[in-house]
Amino acid sequence: MSIDFPASFMLIASMNPCPCGYFNHPEKECTCSPVMVQKYLNKISGPLLDRIDLHVEVTPVPFSELSSTKMSENSSDVRERVMKARDIQAKRFEGHEGVYCNAQMGSKLLKEICVISSVGQNLLKTAMDRLNLSARAYDRILKVSRTIADLAGSEEIRPEHLAEAIQYRSLDREGWAG
């Protein structure tokens, strides 16, 4: 039998890029063959990857940067920006029961809200073809780009917002393993 429980969760996961762990490492050499890398990545199915909003490649940070005293952005500033974007979304979905943020949009709402210009459409089409993205990934790019636009305080989804969202699909790319 199957049982549904109400759940709203955030999934954060990490993985090595290849069995030896040095694929794309700035200094160390990866000793895996392309077939080995592909086999390793294929352990995670496409439909599962499709459902993860952001794929981010994290390369090692050199010691000089780790120990640098350069100030990075403050967490409270980031929090403020996130709260603002959340407010925009709460207003956007007023009157849509059960929808509070961009991630919860169904396909009908997505079409209504994530309207993009012809320049953006061309960009998206090229990315879909070149990176061989699925329909699910397409919807995800639109939702993520809407959120990026909200964080930037922009009413429209601009091509740069789409470009950033496309970047976050790095694991969908066929060319990952070279």
Least distance from C-beta 52 to Zn ion, angstroms? 22
Closest CB to Zn ion among residues 30, 110? 30
CB-CB neighbours of 78 under 10 Å? 12
Closest CB to Zn ion among residues 18, 88? 18
CB 12, CB 4: distance < 8 Å: no
Closest CB to Zn ion among residues 40, 93? 40
Least distance from C-beta 99 to Zn ion, angstroms? 42
Least distance from C-beta 31 to Zn ion, angstroms? 6
Least distance from C-beta 33 to Zn ion, angstroms? 9
Closest CB to Zn ion among residues 36, 109? 36
Work out whether 177 is an interface residue with Zn ion (CB under 5 A): no
Residue 169's beta-bridge partner residues?
55
Under rule CB under 5 A, how many of the chain's residues touch Zn ion?
5
How far apart are alpha carbons 90 and 129 in whole angstroms?
A: 34
Which residues from 8-67 bind Zn ion, rule CB under 5 A?
18, 20, 23, 30, 32
DSSP string of 50-84?
HT-S-B---PPPPHHHHT-------HHHHHHHHHH
Work out whether 171 is an interface residue with Zn ion (CB under 5 A): no
Give the H/E segment covering residue 92.
helix 75-92
Task: Please report how the helices 135-151 and 75-92 are oriented relative to each other, as an axis angle in degrees rounded to 10.
Answer: 110
Which residues would be at the binding site for Zn ion (CB under 5 A)?
A: 18, 20, 23, 30, 32
